[in-house]
């Protein structure tokens, strides 16, 4: 097990995806740790336009992003990209795009061209009029932040340790994860492997060490009494354990995800168990959508990320 975000998978409707990558045979961890991610079909444009950039200002992608042209003109793939050959995706049309300006920076298969670029332009809610392009190979910018899976509980005196070796193996972990799903007010679970001395080493060399159940913290969140949930879990799990309080249950967040399936410009949505919220990504939000969702569902329930941001 390693604390890393699983790649977003193209799905039809709602199916589970993971917040961690599991390398050992802890089968139930696959079902228990993580949330649900929903993405648009990569073969189509995003489902409906969002707000335009205020006052005709220009916008940019946060990072180099796939630009694809299957013969109908270049599109900016802000949502999911199907990993086929050639790939498939859709998004806002790029007006004024000229592949001749990008020679050597794109691939072409069966008449489909694609490449990675940082794109700047004027967004009218449907199309982007390109004003500047930076090739991914020469782009210099901050690396995207990796999602964190830290433990919210204070470290016990003496550090995170096993309290019952007889209940700290692979089978015990699976038993514990089976119990979590039935906890009253269950809000999610994940493992924190940063306490493992092998953390941060070469992945191929430390894979086995990182999968040691005695060197991780099992995190469980409940919208109820953490002490009650911890007592139940201690019946089956003797390893390091952190049970923390949540404001919203997993079921409530999944219901909210279903309700918000038709947001303007929605690209993806997923439950963040660590943040205890619903994360949604849209084509563009000038802050209006975030304010609306805060008013409707309460501050912190939904976090909106805009794929396009104002250009500096």
What digits encode the pLDDT tens for the residues 54-94? 556 789 999 999 999 999 999 999 988 999 999 999 999 99
How many CB atoms sit inside 10 A of residue 54's CB? 10
Averaged pLDDT for residues 198-214: 72
Averaged pLDDT for residues 137-145: 80
Q: What is the pLDDT of residues 208-225, one digit of tens each?
A: 677 789 999 999 999 989
pLDDT higher than 80, residue 49: no
Cis peptide before 86 (omega within 30 of 0): yes
- Percent of the chain at pLDDT above 90? 61
Q: 102 pLDDT band (50/70/90 cuts)?
A: very high
Q: Any idea how long the chain is?
A: 312
pLDDT higher than 80, residue 47: no
Round the average pLDDT of the chain to a whole number and report it: 82
Q: What is the pLDDT of residue 31?
A: 36
User: Which residue is associated with the tokens 């096993």?
Assistant: 162
pLDDT higher than 80, residue 53: no
Q: For the purposes of burial, counting CB atoms within 10 Å of the CB of 235, is it exposed (0-12), middle (13-18) or buried (19 or more)?
A: exposed
158 against 48, higher pLDDT: 158
Q: What is the pLDDT of residue 29?
A: 42
Averaged pLDDT for residues 230-259: 96
C-alpha–C-alpha distance, residues 281 and 302, integer Å: 10
Q: What is the pLDDT of residue 195?
A: 84
End-to-end CA distance of the chain: 39
Q: What is the pLDDT of residues 235-244, one digit of tens each?
A: 999 999 999 9
Q: 142 pLDDT band (50/70/90 cuts)?
A: confident
Q: Are 65 and 116 in contact (CB under 8 A)?
A: yes
pLDDT higher than 90, residue 139: no
Q: What is the pLDDT of residues 30-43, one digit of tens each?
A: 334 555 555 554 54
Nearest to 278 by CA among 13, 62, 298: 298
Cα 248 off chain centre by = 19
């Amino acid at each position: 097990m390693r604390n890393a975000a699983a790649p977003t998978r193209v799905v039809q409707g709602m199916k589970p995806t993971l917040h961690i990558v599991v390398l050992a045979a802890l089968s139930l961890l696959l079902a228990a740790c993580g949330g649900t991610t929903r993405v648009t079909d990569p073969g189509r444009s995003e489902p409906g336009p969002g707000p335009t950039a205020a006052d005709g200002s220009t916008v940019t992608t946060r990072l180099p992003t796939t630009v694809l042209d299957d013969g109908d003109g270049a599109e900016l793939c802000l949502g999911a990209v199907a990993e086929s050959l050639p790939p498939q995706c859709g998004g806002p049309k790029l007006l004024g795009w000229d592949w001749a300006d990008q020679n050597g920076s794109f691939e072409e298969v069966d008449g489909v061209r694609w490449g990675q670029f940082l794109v700047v332009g004027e967004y009218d809610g449907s199309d982007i009029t390109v004003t500047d392009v930076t090739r991914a190979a020469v782009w210099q910018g901050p690396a995207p932040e990796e999602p964190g899976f830290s433990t919210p509980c204070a470290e016990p005196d003496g550090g995170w340790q096993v309290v019952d070796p007889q209940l700290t193996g692979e089978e015990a972990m699976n038993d514990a994860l089976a119990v979590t799903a039935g906890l009253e007010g269950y809000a999610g679970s994940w493992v924190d492997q940063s306490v493992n001395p092998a953390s941060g080493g070469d992945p191929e060399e430390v894979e086995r060490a990182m999968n040691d159940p005695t060197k991780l913290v099992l995190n469980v969140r409940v919208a109820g009494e953490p002490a009650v949930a911890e007592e139940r879990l201690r019946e089956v799990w003797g390893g390091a354990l952190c049970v923390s309080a949540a404001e919203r249950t997993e079921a409530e967040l999944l219901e909210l995800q279903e309700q918000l399936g038709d947001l303007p410009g929605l690209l993806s949505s997923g439950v963040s168990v660590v943040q205890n919220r619903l994360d949604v990504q849209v084509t563009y939000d000038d802050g209006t959508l975030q304010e609306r969702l805060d008013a409707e569902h309460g501050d912190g329930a939904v976090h909106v990320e805009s794929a396009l941001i104002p250009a500096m």
